[in-house]
Amino acid sequence: MNFRIAITALGSAALLAWAAPSLADGLGDKITPNFEQNIPNIPGKSLVAVEVDYPPGGTSLPHVHAKSAFIYAYVVSGSIESKVNNGESRIYKAGQSWSEPPGSSHPVSRNASKTKPAKLLAIFVVDTDDKELTTFK
């Protein structure tokens, strides 16, 4: 009996270890740094851009952005469903964009399609010392 419990516990631990890396990144999103530079005429501010690639049905975990980060989001391809703070959830198609005020909560950010990939470019104007742009809830 104790042998079965030990095997079950070991199997559960192995499953969690295997699943944890994908959960840390969200459920299918891939974030790639694109650009980072200090803004020379605005001391203490930087411009940071990241690409977020979503496979079909991919999603990001709920998260909060840095308190100093003003964000401009642009859908490069596909369709992205997004909800910022307590606003309504909206679907944005390729070529559409939106902005987010500093410290925004992002309870929904995902590919609106179950069959096609989607890509988002997020551009942050952020305090140069703010290195953690996103905190998962």
Residue pLDDT, tens place only, 79-114: 999 999 999 999 999 999 999 999 899 899 999 999
Flag whether pLDDT at 20 surpasses 60: no
| Radius of gyration, alpha carbons of the chain | 18
Architecture of domain 27-136: Sandwich (2.60)
In tens, the pLDDT along 107-135 reads 999 999 999 999 999 999 999 998 888 88
- Residue 6, classified by CB atoms within 10 Å of its CB into exposed (0-12), middle (13-18) or buried (19+), is exposed
Would you list the domain boundaries of the chain? 27-136
Cross-strand partners of 91: 81
Tokens describing residue 82: 């997004």
Q: Count Cβ atoms below 10 Å from residue 54 Cβ, excluding itself.
A: 28
For the entire predicted model, the pTM comes to 0.78
